[in-house]
Homo-oligomer: A and B are copies of this chain.
């Protein structure tokens, strides 16, 4: 049980839900003790900023629960979400002084954070940790390229379907899945309509209309604005283009 008091707690890592899936999975017992010593828990509310573009980076972190969005802005305010991260993703741009994007809590978020210098020291001493981060970065790059295909070439209908398919598939890992006995996939949407639009390069109105169309087509059901049930996963996949 945790104390609720911030600061290092003895062997907090032992009960950590993402212990093995996060980058920490690359560390052995002793090394984990070092991480435990320098790490702290932090809870963020929806909309709370984590990093601002151009900000000096002073710490890194793992997402324990919740969803974090990475955004970029044009000077006139147009916005694009360039990354959406969930447990057990690593947060922060290593080896760079300043963040190239904004990071913001989309839902309530629990982070396990560690100071940049201390983490970079461990990184230098533990090649396995660096290797793990490298792997994760390669996977992120693959995901970014998949998204470039979506942004550049898919229609609004395909974009929305692709996004819902993505969230539905990953909902158990994300921690937003709801089960109601049947085998339909039910989850709570971690983003509001405006954020979905910013992720897909669309407007809120178009997102709303496309969700409405999928609803009237019987592909999904809305229990509340953010409570989705996918009734026909195959059809959702078919509509998503690929």
Known: A138-B96, A142-B100. A80 touches B130 (CB 8 A): no
Q: Which residues from chain B contact A130 at a C-beta distance below 8 Å?
A: 127, 130-131, 134
Copy number in the complex reads: 2
Q: Which residues from chain B contact A145 at a C-beta distance below 8 Å?
A: 70, 72, 82-83, 100-101, 144
- Residue of A76, A95, A100, A149 with highest tally of chain B CB at under 10 A: A149
Contact segment of A24-32, A151-159, A171-179, A180-188: A151-159
Q: Is A146 an interface residue, CB under 8 A from the partner?
A: yes
- Residue of A78, A79, A130 with highest tally of chain B CB at under 10 A: A78
Residues facing B in A213-242 (CB within 8 A) are: 241-242
Counting chain A residues whose Cβ lies within 8 A of the other chain, the interface size class is 35 or more
Known: A131-B130, A145-B100. A152 touches B200 (CB 8 A): yes
Q: Is A192 an interface residue, CB under 8 A from the partner?
A: no
Q: Is A74 an interface residue, CB under 8 A from the partner?
A: yes
Q: Which residues from chain B contact A3 at a C-beta distance below 8 Å?
A: none
Residues facing B in A127-175 (CB within 8 A) are: 127, 130-131, 133-135, 137-138, 140-142, 144-149, 151-154
Known: A74-B241, A95-B138, A142-B100. A80 touches B152 (CB 8 A): yes
Q: Is A42 an interface residue, CB under 8 A from the partner?
A: no
Contact of A80 among B131, B138, B153 (CB under 8 A): B153
